[in-house]
Amino acid sequence: MVFDLEMIKKVYAKFPEAIEAARKVVGKPLTLSEKILYAHLWEGNAVNVYERGKSYVDFAPDRVAMQDATAQMALLQFMQAGKKKVAVPSTVHADHLIQAKLGASKDLQESLNQNNEVFNFLSSISNKYGIGFWKPGAGIIHQVVLENYAFPGGMMIGTDSHTVNAGGLGMVAIGVGGADAVDVMAGMAWELKFPKLIGVKLTGHLSGWTSAKDVILKVADILTVKGGTGAIVEYFGDGAISLSCTGKGTICNMGAEIGATTSTFGYDNSMRRYLAATGRQEVVDAADKIAEHLTGDAEVYAHPEKYFDQVIEINLSDLEPHINGPFTPDRGTPISKMKAEALANEWPMKVEWGLIGSCTNSSYEDMSRAASIVEQAVEQGILPKAEFGINPGSEQVRYTIERDGIIATFEKMGTKIFTNACGPCIGQWDRAGAEKQEKNTIVHSFNRNFSKRADGNPNTHAFVTSPEMVAALAIAGDLGFNPLTDTLTNAKGEQFKFSAPKGDELPTKGFDVEDPGYQAPVEDGSGVVIAVAPDSSRLQLLENFPIWDGKNILGAKLLIKAKGKCTTDHISMAGPWLRYRGHLDNISNNMLIGAENAFNGKANAVVNQLTGETGEVPAVQRAYKAAGVPSIVVGDHNYGEGSSREHAAMEPRHLGVRAVIVKSFARIHETNLKKQGMLGLTFAVEEDYDKIRENDTFNFIDLEDFTPGKPLTLEIVHADGTKENISLNHTYNQSQIEWFKAGSALNLIKLMEN
Ligand code: MIC
Ligand code: SF4
């Protein structure tokens, strides 16, 4: 048993009293989200009516999960916090560093050869501090968490934006940067702005080709990549109850794509079935005792408009399968309109690859539904027009689908079975020919499809859809193919129409696995030595960021004014750069290389104001740093959307950027900037973005008086000598201003320790 039953029981013991106290104070029926939040208030915090979207509140999460690419930085920081052991159950998962190329066994071996140093570091540091370690090949963090650790009513944080996946088991699970994880592992409170609440009422039933994925593809289309910012999305209604638990996970998973803090579902029979099937009947027994507290009050679901800030209703019976993309996950097209839409936009019609997997869609149900489509094609002697690749979500899923013949079905189509890991979803894909940068189309069951993400090619048009739809489109090899109405020609030359996919929610013979790939930590880790070679290119011990000198920042230069979408993939690219996630100086060489410069429309080409010459962004910034010249970064809307990677905040901090000024931020990135001692500010008047010229100089003239709730003034000195002042908003509260003053939140922890 890897899950912590005692901890879960302790959490449940707090629920009745905490909820009664919240009911008294709030004076209204409660949503599920509120119940979980109130049951996890940091000890000694008074129960208040918090202002949604405004009040900062301290919470006590039950668990922490980290994946290899972010755990390195999180644990390098934790090492500095001076603790012997983590204060709450925590796990590390080796999943992001494994490249997909030839197939699971060869790829895994190659990854062990390549990343040995990092995996050894993660395994020994986990051992030292009492953290469970899931070895390379064990599976994708969020699938492993759902299978082993998530529990209804729990609260967890994880250093990955798709931590929200655990909402499928009724948790409030939130993606954070490593510095936030350090707080919780060090036994401190974790702070979050009390979220707004969006209710999604699901009615009707899924049928035919429509799947859980289509629910979130539709929600993303409605709310857009910004629409969930600062909110918990709570799903309810008969339609919600009718979904499988892993289907609920898929929906919650992609809540990250609309910027939602997290998403969740009330405890129901699908969760009971899933918990029992994954060996956790004890959790069902414990949850059943407080079941009424693990879902929203009946009155809330009867009159949602009175209790949620926004309500959306979707009838599952009317929902059409969707395909979202290219380049952004919120551009939704129902399958019946896809052909016309693709032709009108000149998207390449030929589908080159179909990829099934990622933390979003790699459950047993997903694999079995997709296999049912493949099976039909095999029977008809239809060969797939596109190539096919699969990443199972966990070793447990892989072992079970192998036992049940699902892998064999895929193999009949020549499908490549990649490692149980992220693979192509995070650019860990050695795709033959990608370097030619040809315009092409791929379809996948992942969650993100930002430019260059899967294969590094900016001309790859990636579309997100359900696993069964990926299977159909890859077999047809045609983006305009609608399996609900269109036919293919079979081996006998006849027209053949697919019947709707069928699958099993859970394996009828139960899950099975030989070696799940888990390493439990030793009881006393004090003797474990963590070695970081001083000349390593992969790992580097951290140095403190400098404390603020208390003075206004004067004479700053513009490093880059980024235009349009600037996700964390643009700020700190993944793919080949993942190898430097434990080495701050080396990874800083990718800083903002994907962002579009507003003045020349190019990526990675900015003017060095000291020489007048154009150079690459990291090099120009290193020149400013060497000259002791401060700099700023300017950006557009939803800056830092996407990943939780704090490298996107640490790199500018390390290279001497002082402030990031944008029209709006994505939540995790804004917090990451604050934690690392940066100024993350927004234009009070959005159009002031247009006032920023390429060769301006900037003075922060009232930073010495940095106070919560009071905007800062930026004096812009244009090259012609004219000056103008603009107002910059910020959301720093007093303790966050202390992080800025100390140079970083971690510096402050260390100051408190001494
Ligand atoms: C992603 O999907 O972008 C990642 C890679 O899982 C990231 C984390 C990372 O950058 O390591 C995320 O979503 O947080
Ligand atoms: Fe891994 Fe992709 Fe999921 Fe991120 S979104 S955790 S890269 S599978």
- Give dist(CA 500, CA 485) in Å, integer: 11
How confident is the model over 182-227, as pLDDT tens digits?
Answer: 999 999 999 999 999 999 999 999 999 999 999 999 999 999 999 9
How confident is the model over 672-722, as pLDDT tens digits?
Answer: 999 999 999 999 999 999 999 999 999 999 999 999 999 999 999 999 999
Q: Whose CA is nearest to atom 4 of ligand 1?
A: 643
Question: Which ligand minimizes its atom distance to the CA of 642?
Answer: 1
Full DSSP string of 685-717? SGGGGGG--TT-EEEETTGGG--TT--EEEEEE
Q: What is the structure's pLDDT at 63? A: 98
The answer to whether 288 and 280 are in contact (CB under 8 A) is no
Token representation of residue 33: 């989200």
How confident is the model over 514-538, as pLDDT tens digits?
Answer: 999 999 999 999 999 998 999 999 9
569 has catalytic annotation? no
Q: What is the structure's pLDDT at 327? A: 97
Q: What is the structure's pLDDT at 751? A: 86
Question: Which ligand minimizes its atom distance to the CA of 571?
Answer: 1
**Could you tell me if the CB of 160 is within 6 A of ligand 2?**
yes
- Give dist(CA 240, CA 182) in Å, integer: 35
Specify the 3-state DSSP secondary structure of 682: strand
Amino acid in position 750: K
Identify the band that residue 44 occupies on the pLDDT scale cut at 50, 70 and 90: confident
Amino acid in position 40: H
- Beta bridge mates, 100: 429
Residue 340 has pLDDT above 90, yes or no: yes
pLDDT (average), residues 19-47: 96
Q: What is the structure's pLDDT at 110? A: 95
431 has catalytic annotation? no
**Could you tell me if the CB of 162 is within 6 A of ligand 1?**
yes
Full DSSP string of 57-112? EEE--SEEEEEHHHHHHHHHHHHHTT-SS-SS-EEEE--TTPPBSS-HHHHHHHHH
Whole-number Å distance, alpha carbon 368 to ligand 1 midpoint, is: 26
Identify the band that residue 43 occupies on the pLDDT scale cut at 50, 70 and 90: very high
Whole-number Å distance, alpha carbon 413 to ligand 2 midpoint, is: 25
Q: Whose CA is nearest to atom 7 of ligand 2?
A: 426
Pick the atom of ligand 1 nearest to 569's CA: 3
Whole-number Å distance, alpha carbon 428 to ligand 1 midpoint, is: 12
- Within 13 Å, how many C-alpha atoms sit on residue 34's CB side? 28
Q: What is the structure's pLDDT at 700? A: 98
Catalytic annotation, pick one of 645, 647, 654, 667: 645
Beta strands in 129-178 (DSSP E): 132-134, 155-159, 172-175
Token representation of residue 327: 């380049």
Whole-number Å distance, alpha carbon 669 to ligand 1 midpoint, is: 12
Angle at 261 between CA 256 and CA 264, to 5 degrees: 85
Please give the DSSP secondary-structure letter assigned to residue 420: S
Whole-number Å distance, alpha carbon 89 to ligand 2 midpoint, is: 22
Burial class (CB in 10 A: 0-12, 13-18, 19+), 627: exposed
- Give dist(CA 547, CA 739) in Å, integer: 9
Number of H helices, E strands in the chain: 24, 30
pTM: 0.96
- Beta bridge mates, 635: 662
585 has catalytic annotation? no
Q: Whose CA is nearest to atom 9 of ligand 1?
A: 645
Residue 606 has pLDDT above 90, yes or no: yes
Q: What is the structure's pLDDT at 434? A: 95
Q: What is the structure's pLDDT at 428? A: 94
Residue 91 has pLDDT above 90, yes or no: yes
Q: What is the structure's pLDDT at 309? A: 98
Q: What is the structure's pLDDT at 537? A: 97
Pick the atom of ligand 1 nearest to 96's CA: 5
The answer to whether 671 and 177 are in contact (CB under 8 A) is yes
Burial 285-298 (b: 16+ CB within 10 A, else e): ebbeebeebbbbbe
What is each CA distance from 510 to 147, 149, 250, 371, 396, in whole angstroms?
A: 13, 18, 21, 18, 11
Q: Whose CA is nearest to atom 2 of ligand 1?
A: 643
Identify the band that residue 752 occupies on the pLDDT scale cut at 50, 70 and 90: confident
Q: What is the structure's pLDDT at 284? A: 98
702 has catalytic annotation? no
448 has catalytic annotation? yes
Phi, psi angles (nearest 5°) of residue 311: -125, 135
**Could you tell me if the CB of 395 is within 6 A of ligand 2?**
no
Question: Which ligand minimizes its atom distance to the CA of 587?
Answer: 1
Token representation of residue 453: 């993400």
Catalytic annotation, pick one of 62, 68, 95, 180: 95
Q: What is the structure's pLDDT at 151? A: 98
**Could you tell me if the CB of 165 is within 6 A of ligand 2?**
no
Q: Is the peptide bond before 326 cis (omega within 30 degrees of 0)?
A: yes
Whole-number Å distance, alpha carbon 624 to ligand 1 midpoint, is: 29
Q: In 3D, which of 100, 118, 28, 60 has the Cα closest to residue 579?
A: 118
Q: Which residue has the tokens 């009724």?
A: 170
Q: What is the structure's pLDDT at 753? A: 75
**Could you tell me if the CB of 69 is within 6 A of ligand 2?**
no
Question: Which ligand minimizes its atom distance to the CA of 428?
Answer: 2
φ/ψ region of 476 (left if φ > 0, alpha if ψ in -120 to 50, else beta) reads alpha
Beta-carbon count within 10 A of 739 CB: 22
How would you classify the pairing of strands 460-464 and 495-496?
unpaired
As a whole number of angstroms, the longest Cα–Cα distance in the chain is 80
Whole-number Å distance, alpha carbon 549 to ligand 1 midpoint, is: 34
φ/ψ region of 604 (left if φ > 0, alpha if ψ in -120 to 50, else beta) reads left
Q: In 3D, which of 478, 471, 465 has the Cα closest to residue 409?
A: 471
Amino acid in position 452: K
What is each CA distance from 419 to 96, 120, 397, 429, in whole angstroms?
A: 11, 19, 12, 11
Angle at 26 between CA 24 and CA 31, to 5 degrees: 110
Q: In 3D, which of 168, 134, 137, 170 has the Cα closest to residue 152?
A: 170
Whole-number Å distance, alpha carbon 141 to ligand 2 midpoint, is: 8
Question: Which ligand minimizes its atom distance to the CA of 426?
Answer: 2
φ/ψ region of 253 (left if φ > 0, alpha if ψ in -120 to 50, else beta) reads alpha
Q: What average pLDDT does the chain have? A: 97
Catalytic annotation, pick one of 62, 68, 107, 160: 160
Pick the atom of ligand 2 nearest to 160's CA: 6
Phi, psi angles (nearest 5°) of residue 746: -65, -40
Angle at 448 between CA 443 and CA 451, to 5 degrees: 80
How confident is the model over 446-463, as pLDDT tens digits?
Answer: 999 999 999 999 999 999
How would you classify the pairing of strands 712-717 and 262-265?
unpaired
Please give the DSSP secondary-structure letter assigned to residue 414: T
**Could you tell me if the CB of 645 is within 6 A of ligand 1?**
yes
Residue 413 has pLDDT above 80, yes or no: yes
What is each CA distance from 103 to 283, 398, 419, 512, in whole angstroms?
A: 36, 13, 7, 22
Please give the DSSP secondary-structure letter assigned to residue 521: P
The answer to whether 418 and 107 are in contact (CB under 8 A) is yes
Cα torsion 522, 524, 527, 532: sign: positive
Identify the band that residue 280 occupies on the pLDDT scale cut at 50, 70 and 90: very high
- Give dist(CA 129, CA 126) in Å, integer: 5
**Could you tell me if the CB of 69 is within 6 A of ligand 1?**
yes
Cα torsion 101, 102, 104, 109: sign: negative
How confident is the model over 657-681, as pLDDT tens digits?
Answer: 999 999 999 999 999 999 999 999 9
Amino acid in position 711: P
**Could you tell me if the CB of 358 is within 6 A of ligand 2?**
yes
Full DSSP string of 345-362? HT---BEEEEEE-TTTS-
How confident is the model over 101-149, as pLDDT tens digits?
Answer: 999 999 999 999 999 999 999 999 999 999 999 999 999 999 999 999 9
- Give dist(CA 435, CA 444) in Å, integer: 20
Whole-number Å distance, alpha carbon 192 to ligand 1 midpoint, is: 20
643 has catalytic annotation? yes
What is each CA distance from 631 to 554, 559, 656, in whole angstroms?
A: 10, 6, 7
Residue 471 has pLDDT above 80, yes or no: yes
pLDDT (average), residues 591-595: 98
Residue 1 has pLDDT above 80, yes or no: no
The answer to whether 171 and 265 are in contact (CB under 8 A) is no
